Amino acid sequence: MKSIIRIFALVVRYFYLIKTSFPRILELMYWPTFQMILWGLISKHLTNSNDTAVLIGGVLIAGVLLWDVLFRSQLGFSLSFLEEIWSRNLGQLFVSPLRPLEMVLSLMTISFIRTIIAIIPAALLAIPLYSFSLFQMGFSLMLFFSSLLITGWILGIFIIAAIIRFGVSAESLAWGAIFTLAPLSAVYYPVETLPEWIRWLSLSFPQTYVFEGMRDILFNNNFNLNYFLKSVALNGVYAFIAIIVFLVSFEGARKRGGLINTGE
């Protein structure tokens, strides 16, 4: 119970940040909506009345929105942690009874809240603008959404472990690292489009199965349980590794004095 209160305390701390700043809320919603409008227009331009082409347009918008779930989830996680670095608050937090894993859980919670704030307006706006509803994917959307959210958190854990290890010089990873994965994640095209020699790498990422599964639903109206289970299993493996890396990095910071010295 005490642990839940501490997790909630940190969620409240991050929520205060969002609540008190309208530009922050606007910024959260702005990029996903902007991306959706842009990609919607591109796909509209590329399509004609041909049903398959319209479907391809929908797949592109779904790809944009689901990629943004992954990106926002990772960014929400990493940026909330960076707030502690920027405000030189890590030392205060880790002298309190807060455990490192409680901090991770609170970062996950606030990342979920930030992702919802970011994605829902864009997804809703796509319905009147392009007659495409992401929600037509139904329950399977929730499953894929959850899987991407977790993948984003895992990336976030790796990134904050790097920040704890290397200091603020590693903060740019929060914005850029995920884009190195984009070409290999099969967001807008199937894995078969990639050169054969690198497909194994793409298939080792949990998000690849989500995007493949998304296309299967939209093209064939088929929820491929196998894809979903593979993404869950890979998330499990990477989550385990990420937690270990984070704890090792945290203990390393305690040896070097990084918890009190890391800041702007």
Partner 1 sequence: MSENIIEVRNLSKKFKNHHAVKNISFDLKRGEIKGILGANGAGKTTTITMLLGLLTPTSGSIKILSTDISKDRYKILNKINFSSPYVDLPKKLTVRQNLFVYGMLYGIKNINKKIKSVAKELDFENLLDSKVGELSSGQKTRVSLGKAVINDPEILFLDEPTASLDPDTADRVRTFFEKFCKKHNTAIILASHNMEEVTRLCDTVIMMKDGRITDQGSPNSLLKKYGKKKLEDVFLKIARDKSNS
Binding site for partner 1 (CB under 8 A): 2, 5-6, 8-10, 12-13, 16-17, 20-21, 83-84, 87-99, 251, 254-257, 259-261, 263
Tokens of 229: 């289970």
Taking the alpha carbons at both ends of the chain, their separation in whole angstroms is 34
* 207, 178 contact by CB (below 8 A): no
For partner 1, the closer CB: 45 or 255: 255
Smallest gap, in angstroms, from Cβ of residue 107 to partner 1? Answer: 15
Smallest gap, in angstroms, from Cβ of residue 250 to partner 1? Answer: 11
DSSP string, 1-70: -HHHHHHHHHHHHHHHHHHT-HHHHHHHHHHHHHHHHHHHHHHHHH--S-HHHHHHHHHHHHHHHHHHHH
For partner 1, the closer CB: 42 or 98: 98
Smallest gap, in angstroms, from Cβ of residue 230 to partner 1? Answer: 37
For partner 1, the closer CB: 2 or 45: 2
Sequence-distant (6+) residues with CB within 8 A of 190 are 212, 215
DSSP 205: S
For partner 1, the closer CB: 105 or 260: 260
Smallest gap, in angstroms, from Cβ of residue 249 to partner 1? Answer: 14
Smallest gap, in angstroms, from Cβ of residue 170 to partner 1? Answer: 20
For partner 1, the closer CB: 101 or 125: 101
> Could you give the 3-state DSSP secondary structure of residue 229?
helix
* 7, 104 contact by CB (below 8 A): no
Smallest gap, in angstroms, from Cβ of residue 33 to partner 1? Answer: 25
For partner 1, the closer CB: 192 or 251: 251
